[in-house]
Amino acid sequence: MKKWIQYIIIITVIFFIYSRDNDDLKDKGTLDITNLEVYEEHIQMAMRLGYNIGKMPTRYTADSLDTAVRALPYELIVPTQLPASFKDFELLFITDWNNKKDRKEIAIEMWAKPIEGEYPFIRISANDFSYPSEDELIEDSEIMRVGNNHDVYITVDEYTVNLNWIDQKVYYKISYLAGANRYDEENAKQVVLQLAKQMIR
């Protein structure tokens, strides 16, 4: 058998094994890294600061937010209807925490920047491994119903409005961040509430 034929067979077998293993991971509710790229700047910065790279979480980027969302091991609906003063949502990072080999403990962050200036902006995050208890969610929160009688919890401080909820063991958070600027608290509440209504079924 010619060497090039042997080479093709070996490559095919390796690809089959990799694809099978990757499918197994996806079936077990894990991050699909097929179309993700490791965020190299995160690693380089950590090295400059003297951190142990082996113990750090892995951060990923993607060519689009849609690609990133499809890689997640849980459902995330990205809101598409935003106030006219904001751009569409963009991916910040996907982070694989703790044991990087199992592709679990996955968090994602995205943001919608203002069309003009730096503030206010909106950030959405989700993760499947770390979330507050119901008592912690209720504390100092305004509770509202969204979608099919789903409770969401709104908290307000001087510069931020947060809306939180837990669904299928995933913790979701929408934040309206005004920076050091004065803002209309009620308007900000309505903004995060309308975004939540697009995300919750």
Q: What is the mean pLDDT of each run of 10 residues along the chain (201 residues)?
A: 46 39 53 91 58 71 97 97 97 86 88 95 95 87 89 94 95 94 91 96 82
107: region left, alpha or beta (phi > 0 left; psi from -120 to 50 alpha): beta
The answer to the question of residue 97 being in a domain is: yes
The answer to the question of residue 4 being in a domain is: no
Separation CA 96–CA 51 (nearest Å):
17
The answer to the question of residue 184 being in a domain is: yes
First to last CA, the chain: 58
Domain range for 67: 31-199
The answer to the question of residue 2 being in a domain is: no
The answer to the question of residue 26 being in a domain is: no
Separation CA 25–CA 31 (nearest Å):
8
User: Does pTM surpass 0.85?
Assistant: no
SS3 (DSSP) at 58 = strand
Q: Which residue has 């003063």 as its token pair?
A: 85
For residue 154, what are the contacts with CB-CB under 8 A and spacing of at least 6? 141, 142, 143, 144, 161, 162, 163, 164, 189, 192, 193
User: Is the CB of residue 117 less than 8 Å from the CB of residue 86?
Assistant: no
The answer to the question of residue 24 being in a domain is: no
- Residue 149 belongs to a domain with what CATH number? 3.40.1000
The answer to the question of residue 175 being in a domain is: yes
Sign of CA dihedral 67, 69, 72, 73: negative
The answer to the question of residue 147 being in a domain is: yes
Domain count, the chain: 1
Beta bridge partners of 108: 94, 126
pLDDT recorded at residue 29: 82
Helix (H) or strand (E) segment spanning residue 131: none
